Amino acid sequence: MDRLGLALPARSCAKLRRRSMMRLRAGCTLLLSVLWLACSGAGGEARPRYRMVNPGVGFEMLRDNPELVVLDVRLFDEYLAPAGHLERAVSAPLLELGYLWPLLDLSDQDTVLIYDGNGSVGQIQAAQFLIDRGLRFVVQIDGGFEAWLAKGFGVVVEDAPLSPIRPD
């Protein structure tokens, strides 16, 4: 019997159950889609995301955009290592990025190119840190500094700063 007290053949009941399940699945799919859109920021202003580019595109960006901000999020010792760093790169180690943030003086209109040693989680965390603070144009070098070197692009090697303690 159905809700109205009418006797329905078993075949009709199975058909109604299938339709109900299909509607339920469609409703759940719609609900999940709405939740995904709300969480991702789609539907309104899109939530900014970082972009990953190969070293060749990173080189072109560096060459063609004098306003490009380049952040090296490796440790400072790696920045000064004999392997060097990218031209115009500013050392902003991931562990110190929170402290350095006000000093970087970046606006939401700046394009920032980020790299670490090998394009690992640290680089992704740094990109997300910048996006969370309102930057909209954050780009990472796929494979990081190692990929840059492997492609043969130039680097800058600097002398280490003088130590505040000098031997007598």
Q: How confident is the model at residue 36 (pLDDT cuts 50, 70, 90)?
A: very low
Q: How confident is the model at residue 67 (pLDDT cuts 50, 70, 90)?
A: very high
pTM: 0.66
In this prediction, residue 1 carries a pLDDT of 52
How does DSSP classify residue 139?
Answer: E
What are the structure tokens assigned to 70, written together?
């380049």
Read off the pLDDT of each residue in 137-157 and give the average, rounded to a whole number.
Answer: 94
55 pLDDT above the threshold of 90: yes
In this prediction, residue 162 carries a pLDDT of 42
In this prediction, residue 16 carries a pLDDT of 56
The residue behind tokens 């603070």 is 133
**Residues 83, 135: contact at Cβ < 8 Å?**
no
Read off the pLDDT of each residue in 9-34 and give the average, rounded to a whole number.
Answer: 54
CB-based burial label for 140 (10 Å; 0-12, 13-18, 19+)? buried
In the chain, the percentage of residues whose pLDDT exceeds 70 is: 65
In this prediction, residue 165 carries a pLDDT of 42
In this prediction, residue 158 carries a pLDDT of 77
In this prediction, residue 12 carries a pLDDT of 57
Average pLDDT across the chain, whole number: 78
In this prediction, residue 167 carries a pLDDT of 43
Q: How confident is the model at residue 49 (pLDDT cuts 50, 70, 90)?
A: confident
